[in-house]
Amino acid sequence: MGTELAIFGAPPRFSEPLHVGRPNIGDRGRFLARVDKMLDRRWLTNNGPYVAELEARIADDLEVEHCVAVSNATVGLQVAAKALGLTGQVIVPAFTFVASAHALRWIGLEPVLCDVDPRTHNLDPERIGELITPATSAILGVHVWGRPCEVHALTEIADEHELKLFFDAAHAYHGSLSGVPIGNFGDAEVFSFHATKFVNAFEGGAITTNDDALAERLRLARNFGFAGVDQVVAIGTNAKMSEVSAAMALTSLESLPDFVSVNRTNHLSYARGLEDLPGFTLATYDPADDPNYQYVIVEVDEAVAGLSRDDVVRVLGAENVLARRYFYPGCHRMEPYSREDPSAIDRLGVTEALSERVVALPTGTAVDVDDVGAICEILAAAVEHAAQIRAQPVPPAVEGWVPEVIDPRPAKG
């Protein structure tokens, strides 16, 4: 295609925008039937029957003792942190969605940002020791892209320093490690069922744990501290999942094998389409971990590809492919962390590099192999015409979304 690229003025390859994070809908009829039933019984929230069914289903699927459904994963992380009695500092990866850090900061904890492993994009256990202080109360691992953290190494560190260990499993429903489903690790794990996630409840999440006493505290904290009618025994918040969200999550879970299958097929197609493209490295999944393949993550090596990651985002944007720079620019370059700990940059070399190189590409049930094939063709043409692209300003007349590539970074040095 080459000069037919939209960035050179050709019509965009896709007439409708192709998003990263387009929700998987599942069986619409089953969902609507559930909603009808819900309306008939006039039980809309506050630990309703769908929430109870969802919690039982998840606990069963993940082979975990307790599941506590919540209104979203951000609040779920806060409820977990409170129920774990965390104080002071919590070690968190810098390369994550900002919710992992913000959830803690919002409740007065201090997220201490740690670098990640360049191979896994997950918290690097080797870098944790240097950040532990007398104020550290916990480590929060994030299973980024649904790939499991180095759970065993993190557990050893947490045990040695008597720290709590919990996981942001927002991306990781369905994954496992050495045959143990994610949901069973650390003191607790927190899943997101946001619309863009593998299991979708519009907005929603779940906390899982094998600790009976912790589960009780989680349930209290989720519902204002109510232990029974008129009986408040603890400080709590409102983190309850509504019935309509639980109905959606249950419907989503029924379609889970289809979602995995589509994601796996798309991932394989990307792998084939990109294998000979210089400077493009697709993040892989280990099939033994039974992953959900929900994210298609590519690292762009500008020195080899001749194009930067931001050039790639611009080329795709012109074609109506709305690729995302997750997790640009890294938590350490966002407020308030950039202001409160500006020297964090010095210890976050891998996060810095990844946030410059990583791009998330569209997948999920709204994307098929033909779409993937077209995206790979666009990328191949972009590499072939890299020099022209770098010289070419984005034509203002290009239809559709063209990402704003504004660098919010303070100058180095």
Distance between CA atoms of residues 312 and 323, nearest Å: 9
Report d(CA 187, CA 84) in Å as an integer: 8
Among 18, 64, 68, 170, which residue sits at the site for ligand T4K (rule: CB under 6 A)? 170
Q: What angle in degrees, to the nearest 10, is found between the helix axes of 28-41 and 243-254?
A: 150
Closest distance to ligand T4K from the beta carbon of 322 (Å): 5
Give the whole-angstrom CA distance, residue 392 versus residue 410.
26
C-alpha closest to that of 209 among 61, 91, 63: 63
Could you tell me which of 285, 279, 280, 252 has the C-alpha nearest to residue 266?
A: 285
Cβ distance to ligand T4K smaller for residue 194 or 240: 194
In this chain, which stretch among 4-12, 32-40, 70-78, 121-129 interacts with ligand T4K, using CB under 6 A?
70-78
Q: Which residues ranging from 179 to 238 are in contact with ligand T4K (CB under 6 A)? A: 192, 194-196, 205
* Residue, CB closest to ligand T4K: 21
By rule CB under 6 A, what string of x and - marks binding of each residue 139-168 to ligand T4K? ---x-------------------------x
Distance of alpha carbon 188 from alpha carbon 158, whole angstroms: 13
CB of 172 to ligand T4K, least distance (A): 9
Looking at 322, 345, 358, 376, which residue binds ligand T4K (CB under 6 A)? 322
In whole angstroms, give the CA distance from residue 122 to residue 110.
20
- The 3-state DSSP class for residue 20 equals coil
- Segment contacting ligand T4K by CB under 6 A, of 69-77, 226-234, 239-247, 255-263: 69-77
Closest C-alpha among 9, 43, 390, 103 to residue 242: 43
Whether residue 101 contacts residue 331, with contact meaning beta carbons closer than 8 Å, is answered with yes
Instruction: Please state whether the peptide bond connecting residue 327 to the residue before it is cis, i.e. omega within 30 degrees of 0.
Output: yes
Among 24, 47, 74, 355, binds ligand T4K (CB under 6 A): 74
Q: Which lies closer to ligand T4K via its Cβ, residue 167 or residue 270?
A: 167
Count other C-beta atoms under 10 Å from residue 28's C-beta.
9
Total of residues contacting ligand T4K (CB under 6 A)? 23
Minimal distance in Å, beta carbon 40 to ligand T4K? Answer: 27
Q: Which of residues 91-130 bind ligand T4K (CB under 6 A)?
A: 96-97, 99-100
| Nearest distance from C-beta of residue 298 to ligand T4K, angstroms | 16
Chain residues 14-33 in contact with ligand T4K, contact rule CB under 6 A: 19-23
Q: Which is closer to ligand T4K, CB of 106 or CB of 226?
A: 106
Coil, strand or helix at 207: strand
Tokens standing for residue 5: 């690229």
With beta carbons less than 8 A apart as the criterion, state whether 248 and 84 touch: no
Phi, psi of 303 (to 5 degrees): -65, -30
Show contacts with ligand T4K in window 339-368 (CB under 6 A). none
Strand partners, 112: 91
The smaller minimum CB distance to ligand T4K, of residues 67 and 73, is found at 73
Closest separation in Å from C-beta 16 to ligand T4K:
11
What is residue 336's three-state secondary structure? coil
CB of 25 to ligand T4K, least distance (A): 10
**Shortest distance, position 143 Cβ to ligand T4K, whole Å:** 8
280 or 327: CB nearest ligand T4K: 327
**What residues numbered 234-273 form the site for ligand T4K, per CB under 6 A?**
none
State whether residue 209 is helix, strand or coil: strand
* Residue ranges binding ligand T4K (CB under 6 A): 19-23, 72-74, 96-97, 99-100, 142, 168, 170-171, 192, 194-196, 205, 322, 326
